[in-house]
Chain A
Amino acid sequence: MPKVLLDWFYVAVFAVVGTLMAVLPLVVVWLLAPRADLPQKTITYESGVIPFGQAWAQFNVRYYLFALVFVVFDVEVIYLYPWAVVFRQLGTFAFAEMLLFLLVLLVGLAYAWRKGALEWV
């Protein structure tokens, strides 16, 4: 097996073990724990407060800004990934390039902050 695929084999093992760690406790609880079906148990858990209204309501458009800010910095991570792999070989210049890249995006973050787009109201 080539080394690269062997590396991914570890990833596969990790994925399987991770899935089992999530599923096994549920199975064990389902097998062992006593159950009482009360109507209160089907209520949505909302930090201990009895929920009111419907969960599926129309949200204010300003919440869309959180999604957009997230997407922009998600795309930024895409560019950080190949940079992080090679910047040791390319040295100071590559570091300065990424600094400039991040600086431009920092302006965007500062603007979003200043405009209150990050405030959860």
Chain B
Amino acid sequence: MGELAAFMILSLVTLIPAVVVVTSSNIVRAALSLVPTFLGVTGLYVMLQAEFVAGIQVLIYAGAITVLILFVIMLTEGGTGVRTRQLNDQVPLGAMAAVWLAFVLIVIFTRTGWPTAAGVLPAYNVVAVGNAFLSDYVLIFEVTSVVLLVSLVGAIVIARRED
């Protein structure tokens, strides 16, 4: 009962701003509405006991992705009061595709047995992720830092050249 209530609340937190994202004519408002959507999805991850994915969702999506989108808006030539038309004459076509997709998903959802595998999940799966990073996959872990370094240096080189 409590789980259903939590799911309902989190779904509303996810869906209501998501509608604003695709309907608002103010592009900054649309971009900012992504944040509660991402946070709602974070709550759904928590309900699935996927804490690490939930942490990534907050840091990367609600943090980094939103900041990047806002910066892209800042850097684009615009002007106050720019109205973005989110709807065009392909609305009926898109609505039909969406209804069809929802229909297929509901059919799959009701027809599948959803068998659950035997065995128990660890209480906190971050421990498993951390152990894997620091023992079996340590080389990949260290190479990741080099990848991050390359992206940082590359971005600076490209952006400096523009000046």
Residues of A within 8 A of B (CB): 3-4, 8, 11-12, 54-72, 74-79, 81-87, 89-90, 93-94, 97-98, 100-102, 104-105, 107-108, 111-112, 115, 117
Contacts and interface: CB of A to CB of B under 8 A. Distances in A.
Contacts of B56: 78
A96 B126 CA distance: 20
Contacts of A74: 59-60, 63-64
Main secondary structure of the interface of A (DSSP, over half): helix
Chain B interface size, as a band, is 35 or more
A59 B74 contact: yes
A61 B159 contact: yes
Interface of B: 6, 28, 46, 49, 52, 55-56, 59-60, 63-64, 67-68, 71, 74-82, 123-124, 126-127, 129-131, 133-135, 138, 141-142, 144-146, 148-149, 151-153, 155-156, 159-160, 162-163
A68 B155 contact: yes
B163 A71 contact: no
A78 B148 CA distance: 12
Contacts of A115: 156, 160
B15 to A, nearest CB: 18
Contacts, number: 147
Q: Do most interface residues of chain B lie in helix, strand or loop, or is the interface mixed? A: helix
Nearest to B82: A56
Contacts of A93: 134
Contacts of B141: 79, 97, 101
B89 to A, nearest CB: 28
